[in-house]
Chain A
Amino acid sequence: MRKQISLLLLLIVAAGFALCLAGAPFGAEGARESRRLVKDNVNYGRRYVSKGLDENRCANIVTSVVLNYRGFDTLGEVTILFIAALGLGAVLYGRRAGASPDEAQRPSLILSTGCRLLFPLIMLVGIYIFIHGHLSPGGGFQGGAVIASGFLLICLGCRKKKLNSVALGAAESLSGLAFVLLALIGLAVGGSFLLNFLPTGKVYALFSGGIIPLIYIAIGVKVGSELSGIIDNLSGEVR
């Protein structure tokens, strides 16, 4: 009986949600709608796409939006990830000390050799993704996640290996600091935080986009070290 009633309630809530959301404009219709609404016929998405290439000389418009027009949000998002990693470390602190020493089986030779062979390749892919963030899809977040998956492989495959947490922490701090300082230089030079103060170069060239690739490299290092830190914390705790 109780199950039926809760199911019924769930259905009512779901129907309410569906009714509410059915009226919300999305996709092509939403874009048309918003174009009609916003003053001066400006749709910001469209505006970014049409002018972004000229303004930042950054072939990947998504990157241009993420790091320039809405770069301040990205700074906040990087901070959120930083907080999550730190918070996990703070909560797990003290629990690791009591954990028993390495009791896991030694991995077989094939496994550990395979992991070691793959690791540099994964690193290469990750670094490629964030260095080319302004040219091709992907960027700091994606590249950082790929790098962290490389460290995950090492954690799983070669169990004796421990990551150097001091180095990870230093990479985390310094890359975060680099992001803020790059943004502050813009404030000092041109009076606006995150201003793209470097020469933007030619579109589609590796050295283009001004500070955008630099910031993406900082984000890549930061995200990579943070996610690796999370994995290191958790895998250290498992043992």
Chain B
Amino acid sequence: MVSPILLIAVPLALAFLTPMVGLASKSARRYMPAIAMLFNFIVAMSLLPKALEAPIIVRTAGWAPPLSIHLVAGPLGLLLSSLVALIGLLVAIYGIDYIREGARARYDVLYTLLLVGATGVVLTGDLFNLFVFFEVLCISSYALVAYRGDSAGVEAGMKYLIQGAIGSSLVLIGIGLLYGTVGTLSMADIASSVGSVAGSRLFISLAFMIAGFGVEAAIFPLNAWLPDAHSSAPSSISAVLSGVAIKAGLYAIARVVYTVYGASSILPFLAVLGVVTLLVGEMCAFAQEDIKRLLAFSSIGQMGLILFALALSSATGISGAVFLIISHGLAKALLFLATGYMIYRTGSRDISSLAGMGKRMPIMSLCFTVGAFSLMGLPPFVGFASKFTIVRAVLGTGSTFFITLLAIGLIGTVIEGAYFLRIVQWLYFKPAPEAMPEQTEGRAPLTALVPVGLLAVLIVTIGLLPGIVGRALGPAADDLLDRAAYIQHVMGD
């Protein structure tokens, strides 16, 4: 049997190898991230059925769990790492021809390492190890945001770096306090001994960790970096940042709150934060004229909805949240990728410059529309299935508090519908301006059309047959909710 640790070790080795490959052949180097992610996707998918039965515990250095670092490849972890690998693979294929300027060698390595960090975050079973992989993820995304080296990119990267570094130090302080209190770093071990500690002692470390991870997850008061960072980065980077990186922060919050602390009393607070984030994100997105900033703000809004669903603390709610993570990841990656070549074509990021794009780049526009409709939650796309699960979960709780919040949150979804329809209108129903400089270099090559098309096909297929991922969602939700089983799996043997 393959060990889940290969999901981290092999791409890491390939990332270290990439500069050496680059010395031999510059063109071969560009395929390295795709190779690494293809490997990850195959391995993660092949491990997933086994993990649905029971989490796979991986020890390092041969010691049993609490003594050394261990990975817990449970249903949730493997489901999310397959998502990371899938999006990573498609965006890597897109990036082969898309990235034309800058330090190409460093792009390939940083890109692979960003995904290694995300995979490590979702698979690890050790709190400090979570922090380490979180840093791998964050630092590579700071560098990639500033990758172009232009002043907007460097400024956005700097902003992101400073806020992210403060967030990371908060996480570190939180982990230090918790370690000082319970004397262990294994998440399962902490979870088993956390019950015997007074709540007031735990609260501070929990607050530090939520605030710290919240910066990366772009929860409302901490999201100032996101619009700049996601819009100044090259589109392929924006796609992984929006599709993968911010979800890792959210996963970390969920893991810490549910598994490590079992802090159900803090969930209503998170639900309120989620709805506020949703409203703020969608309202800001509505006011944008810059297409990439609009997509970035829309990501904030969707993160708010995911956080709200995670805070429901019911199996349906969490499966809805995980489903939304998947559907938003696919759709937002698709939108950023499609936008990338449209921007190359027009040379402008204004929404008005998209006029008549439906005729000039028909495939890209069609795929963009699929992604936009999916984000809005229209059937038959995957966004509908995921949002519907969340609504069902809220009604299932029967609590007036959550139903009121959902009602407020639905306003956000309406706003979302409004601005995406406006873009679609620009794409199809506005005449293209007459004197249009035709830039042949803006024509999308096959390496761009294939990933964008595949993402669109996936969105429609999963939307029509939600059972494909539906089978894994239930166990994934239990993975997060059932602390006792988690502890028993890790510490039991």
Task: List the interface of chain A (C-beta within 8 A of B).
Answer: 20-21, 23-26, 30-31, 33-35, 37-39, 42-45, 47, 68-73, 75-77, 79-80, 82-84, 86-95, 166, 169-170, 172-174, 176-177, 180-181, 183-184, 186-187, 190-196
Q: When the two chains form the complex, which single residue of B60, B110, B182 contacts A38, counting CB atoms closer than 8 Å?
A: B182
Cross-chain contact A83 with B193 (CB below 8 angstroms): no
Q: Name the A residues within 8 Å of B192 (CB-CB).
A: 39
Is B425 part of the contact surface with A, judged by Cβ < 8 Å? no
Is B184 an interface residue, CB under 8 A from the partner?
A: yes
Q: Is the CB of B149 within 8 A of A71?
A: no
**Residue from A44, A90, A193 within 8 A of B110 (CB atoms):** A90
Interface residues in B111-155 (C-beta closer than 8 Å to A): 113, 116, 120, 126, 128-129, 132-133, 135-136, 139-140, 142-144, 146-147, 149, 154
B61 within 8 A of A: yes
With a cutoff of 8 Å between Cβ atoms, the chain B residues found around residue A180 in the complex are: 9, 12-13, 16
Q: How far is the CA of A82 from the CA of B23 in the complex (A)?
A: 18
Q: Which A residues lie within 8 Å of B66 (CB)?
A: 42, 44
Of all A-B residue pairs in the complex, the 9 with the closest CB atoms, nearest first, are A34-B183, A87-B143, A76-B132, A176-B16, A93-B103, A90-B106, A192-B62, A180-B13, A72-B69
Q: Which of B68, B157, B201 contacts A91 (CB 8 A)?
A: B157
| Given known A44-B66, A194-B60, contact A79–B12 (CB-CB < 8 A) | yes
Contact A83 B23 (CB under 8 A): no
With contacts A20-B204, A89-B103, A166-B23 known, is A68 near B61, CB below 8 A? Answer: yes
CB-based nearest A residue for B114:
A83
CB distance from B96 to the nearest CB of A (A): 18
A26 to B181, CA, bound (A): 8
**Which among A83, A86, A176, A186 has the greatest number of chain B C-beta atoms within 10 A?**
A83
User: Would you call A69 and B67 a contact (CB within 8 A)?
Assistant: yes
A87 and B9 contacting across the interface, CB-CB below 8 Å? no
Contact (Cβ within 8 A) A73 B193: no
B349 CB-CB contact with A under 8 Å: no
Residue of A nearest to B107 (CB): A90
Q: Is the CB of B3 within 8 A of A187?
A: yes
B189 adjacent to A193 (CB under 8 Å):
no
In the complex, what's the smallest C-beta–C-beta distance from B146 to chain A, in angstroms? 5
B197 contacts the other chain (Cβ, under 8 Å)?
yes
Q: A192-B62, A193-B58 are in contact. List 11 more A-B contacts (CB 8 A).
A: A24-B180, A30-B183, A35-B183, A68-B68, A73-B129, A76-B136, A80-B135, A83-B110, A89-B106, A90-B110, A91-B146
Q: Is the CB of A71 within 8 A of B60?
A: yes
Q: A90-B103, A193-B3 known; A72 and B60 CB under 8 Å?
A: yes
| Cβ 8 A contact of A192, one of B12, B60, B133 | B60
Bound together, the chains give a CA A24 to CA B6 distance in angstroms of 38
Q: Is B59 part of the contact surface with A, judged by Cβ < 8 Å?
A: yes
Residue on B with the closest CB to A170? Answer: B20
Q: Judging by beta carbons under 8 Å apart, are B61 and A194 in contact?
A: yes
B-chain residues with CB within 8 Å of residue A95 when the two chains form the complex = 149
- A180, B6: Cα distance in complex, Å: 11
Q: Please tell me which one of the listed residues A25, A47, A90, A166 contacts residue B143 in the complex, with CB atoms under 8 A apart.
A: A90
A47 to B, closest residue via Cβ: B67
Main secondary structure of the interface of A (DSSP, over half): helix
Q: Which residues on B sit within 8 Å (CB–CB) of A192?
A: 59-62
Chain A residues, Cβ within 8 Å of B12: 75, 79, 180
| Distance to closest chain B CB from A94 (angstroms) | 5
Please report the C-alpha to C-alpha distance between residue A68 and residue B18 in the assembled complex, in whole angstroms. 27
Question: Do A195 and B62 touch (CB < 8 A)?
Answer: yes
Query: Is A73 a contact partner of B132 (Cβ separation < 8 A)?
Result: yes
Q: Decide: A94 near B139, CB < 8 A? Known: A38-B189, A44-B183.
A: no
Residue B177, interface by CB 8 Å? yes
**A76/B183 in contact, CB under 8 A:** no
**In angstroms, how far is the closest chain B Cβ from the Cβ of A85?**
10
B63 within 8 A of A: yes
Interface digits, B143-186 against A, CB 8 Å rule (1 contact, 0 not)?
11011010000100100000000000000000001001111100
B75-99: CB near A (< 8 Å → 1, else 0) gives 0000000000000000000000000
Chain B residues whose C-beta falls within 8 Å of the C-beta of A170 in the assembled complex: 19-20, 23
* Cβ–Cβ < 8 Å partners of A31 in chain B: 183
Asked if B300 is at the interface (CB within 8 A of a chain A CB), the reply is: no
Q: Nearest chain-B residue to A181 (Cβ)?
A: B13
A76 with B120: CB separation less than 8 A: yes
Q: Is B439 an interface residue (CB 8 A)?
A: no
Can you list 10 pairs linking A and B with CB atoms under 8 Å apart? A23-B201, A24-B177, A34-B182, A39-B192, A71-B69, A82-B16, A83-B110, A83-B143, A91-B147, A94-B103
B17 on the A face (CB < 8 A): yes
Point out the residues of chain A lying under 8 angstroms from B154, CB to CB.
Answer: 91
B13 pairs with A73, CB closer than 8 A: no
Among A34, A88, A193, the residue within 8 A (CB) of B61 is A193
Q: Is the CB of A25 within 8 A of B181?
A: yes
Residues of B near A21 (CB, < 8 A) are 177, 204
Chain B, 1-15, CB within 8 A of any chain A CB? 3, 5-6, 9, 12-13
For the complex, give the distance between the alpha carbons of A170 and B109 in Å.
14
Give Cα distance in the complex from A21 to B6, angstroms.
Answer: 40
B146 is contacted by which of A42, A77, A90 (Cβ under 8 Å)?
A90
Across the interface, which residues of A come within 8 angstroms of B265, CB to CB?
A: none
Does A84 contact B139, Cβ atoms closer than 8 Å? yes
- Asked if A24 and B181 sit within 8 Å, CB to CB, the answer is yes
Q: Mark B50-77, 1 if CB is under 8 A from A, else 0.
A: 0000000011111100111100000000
- In the docked arrangement, what's the CA distance between A173 and B106, Å? 12
Which residues from chain B contact A187 at a C-beta distance below 8 Å?
A: 3, 5-6, 9
B113, A25: Cβ atoms under 8 Å? no
Which of chain B's residues 182-211 have a Cβ closer than 8 Å to chain A?
182-184, 189, 192-193, 196-197, 200-201, 204
Bound: A39/B493 CA distance, A:
15
- Verify if B433 is at the interface (C-beta below 8 Å from A): no
| B133 nearest CB across to chain A (Å) | 6
Q: CA–CA, A173 to B62, complex, Å? A: 26
B102 at the interface (CB under 8 A from A): yes
* Chain B nearest CB, measured from A170 CB (Å): 7
Closest B residue to A31 by CB, please name it.
Answer: B183
CB distance from A16 to the nearest CB of B (A): 10
Shortest Cβ gap from A35 to chain B (Å): 7
Q: B60 contacts A25, CB within 8 Å?
A: no
Residue in B12, B23, B58, B183 with the greatest tally of chain A CB atoms within 10 Å: B183
Measured CB to CB, the nearest residue on chain B to A169 is: B19
What string of 1s and 0s marks CB contacts (under 8 Å) between B1-44 and chain A?
00101100100110011111001000000000000000000000
